[in-house]
Amino acid sequence: MIKSGFDSALGSQTSLLTMYLRCGLVDDSLWIFKCIEYPNQVTWTSLISGLVLNGREEMALTEFRKMMRDSVKPNSFTLSSGLRGCSNLAMFEEGRQIHGIVTKYGFDRDKYAGSGLIDLYGKCGCSDMARSVFDGLNEVDVISVNTMMYSYAQNGLGREALELFERMMNLGLQANDVTVLSVLLACNNSGLVDEGCEFFESFRKGKVVLTNDHYACMVDMLGRAGRLDEAERLVNEVVKEKDP
């Protein structure tokens, strides 16, 4: 009965902590966390992932280290959040250390931890290492494919990104707004302007609703290629579409 009451109280506190973080109330969530005498894996993970989502990566990594010191076993979501924190701060060496923890607990083929590793290595310019992680995953989904494509796009490897996009389509995975941005960015950073224009027209006819980021990427691509008339025409089209 005592343990049941403890678990119930901890569950309620964790739910409250999670709610505060989702609302951006970081200080309130930290106050709740400090009131918890023995946080479990779920509580730690909720805190760390929430801090990363709120742009408090350094604090998230500090809490991750405390969790490890307290010998609380992380799950794939904990590790993924820690890796995202490292990649957002370009903390390559700390990310490599977390990779070691990923391997230690057998999550190196997990799609969630794997996506975090791909993101880390991609943002740190290590596309080969990112691809090695990607190829070792037990299961690929839209998130892991998007992360790998974005890694290629960031590092100017447009052809590789487009090959992966084709594989994604063959697997029957549904493209989303991140997919579209990754493809356009890949074309932009690799000078594949004609291909970028073809993809853009295809995306405009598809199910994904294009955002300002997509249009901005396309305008930048056309501008870099000296196709200023087309860039201006696209800007005018967007303005007309947004006019009431």
Sign of CA dihedral 213, 22, 55, 122: negative
- Residue 208 is classified by DSSP as S
- Structure token pair of residue 37: 């005498």
Residues 1 and 8: beta-carbon distance below 8 Å: no
pLDDT reported for residue 242: 67
Three-point CA angle 65, 101, 87, nearest 5°: 70
CA 3 to mean position of chain CA atoms:
37
pLDDT reported for residue 241: 73
First to last CA, the chain: 62
Q: Which helix (H) or strand (E) holds 236?
A: helix 228-242
**Mind listing the domains of the chain with CATH numbers?**
10-139 (1.25.40.10), 141-244 (1.25.40)
**Consecutive 10-residue runs of the chain (244 residues): their mean pLDDT?**
52 93 96 93 97 98 98 97 97 97 97 97 96 96 97 97 97 96 98 97 93 96 96 89 64
Rounded Cα distance, 4 and 222, in Å: 62
Residues 95 and 101: beta-carbon distance below 8 Å: no
The number of beta carbons lying within 10 Å of the beta carbon of residue 45 is 25
- The answer for residues whose C-beta is within 8 angstroms of residue 54's C-beta and 6 or more apart is 21, 24, 26
SS3 for 211? coil
- The answer for residues whose C-beta is within 8 angstroms of residue 21's C-beta and 6 or more apart is 29, 46, 47, 50, 51, 53, 54
Rounded Cα distance, 193 and 102, in Å: 39
Q: Which residue, 97, 96, 67, 98, is CA-closest to 80?
A: 98
Question: Whole-prediction pTM value?
Answer: 0.89
Taking phi first (over 0 means left), then psi (-120 to 50 degrees means alpha), and beta for anything else, what does residue 38 get? beta
